[in-house]
Amino acid sequence: MAEQLKEEDKNLNQTYQTLRTLLSPQEKEQLKNVQLIWIAFRDKSCDFQLRDADGSMYAMFMAQCLARYTATRNAELILQVDRLQ
């Protein structure tokens, strides 16, 4: 699961950078702010979903949750890139 999260994070970062090239300076700042809020949301949401998890499976479940949210966010940013190209 950690490898999947790493791959999803890499994909998201690539899409994020592509989107930035299509934005004005003001829009870049907005995107940065939104992305920081999204990261906090993703992390807190996974924390909440796994609030009762413990033990050796916790890290795997957390990576799975983070990867799922990250893949979804990447798809959202891809739509923005496609709209602007």
**pLDDT averaged per 10 residues, the chain (length 85):** 92 98 98 98 97 89 96 98 96
Please report the pLDDT score of residue 77 as a whole number. Answer: 98
Please report the pLDDT score of residue 55 as a whole number. Answer: 85
Could you write out the three-class secondary structure of 10-60? Answer: HHHHHHHHHHHHCCCHHHHHHHHHHHHHHHHHHHHHHHHHCCCCCHHHHHH
> 2-21 and 25-49 helices cross at what angle (nearest 10)?
160
Please report the pLDDT score of residue 48 as a whole number. Answer: 96
Using a cut of 0.85, tell me whether the model's pTM lies above it. Answer: yes
Please report the pLDDT score of residue 1 as a whole number. Answer: 77
Distance between the two ends of the chain, CA-based, in angstroms? 33
